[in-house]
């Protein structure tokens, strides 16, 4: 996984961090390592994880031009992508070393955002052996702006 630093976070290191997060919240050094090696959608969006632990995952996202649709509002697909990233990481924490993939993403757009910081929290609703259900709430300041219900599937190796 190549991230902001250009260095790779080996898949085993990511799984090690997820295993730690299954027992306790990651500390600041571990979060720095995770955030420093973002890749894919996480890097493109600019997701900054602030909490990863057994009770869920939290992150912040600074709104910039790359997230806006032509009329100047945050693009609705960005909320779905943000939720998928947080929910998938939360699912990975509880998957016993197995990867997880999203199989259903239902995102409700509640209020619009033009600038600032969006905070998001993913919390498990149901954690099964094969599937997981998570709820992700996204806020701007004190306003709920989007809510996602994400179903993930655990891939057995």
**Which residues are known to be catalytic?**
84
State the burial class of residue 65 (Cβ atoms within 10 Å of its Cβ: 0-12, 13-18, 19+): exposed
Helix orientation angle between 11-21 and 76-93, rounded to the nearest 10 degrees: 80
CA 37/CA 6 separation, integer angstroms: 7
Integer CA distances (angstroms), 37 to 2, 4, 46, 73, 97, in order: 6, 6, 12, 28, 19
Residues 6+ apart with CB under 8 A from 29: none
Tokens representing 46? Answer: 């600019």
């Amino acid at each position: 996984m190549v991230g902001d630093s250009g260095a790779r976070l080996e898949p085993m290191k990511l799984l090690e961090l997820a295993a730690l997060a299954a027992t306790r919240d990651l500390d600041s050094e571990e979060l720095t390592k995770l955030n420093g090696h973002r890749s894919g959608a996480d890097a493109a969006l600019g997701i900054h994880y602030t909490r990863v632990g057994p009770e869920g995952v939290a992150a912040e996202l600074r709104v910039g031009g790359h997230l806006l649709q032509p009329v100047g509002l945050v693009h609705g697909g960005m909320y779905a992508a943000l939720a998928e990233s947080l929910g998938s990481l939360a699912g990975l924490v509880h998957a016993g070393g197995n990867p997880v993939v999203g199989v259903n993403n239902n995102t409700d757009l509640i209020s619009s955002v033009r600038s600032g910081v969006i905070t998001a929290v993913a919390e498990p609703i149901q954690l099964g052996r094969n599937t997981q259900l998570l709820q992700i709430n996204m806020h701007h300041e004190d306003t709920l702006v989007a809510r996602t219900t994400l179903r993930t599937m655990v891939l057995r190796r």
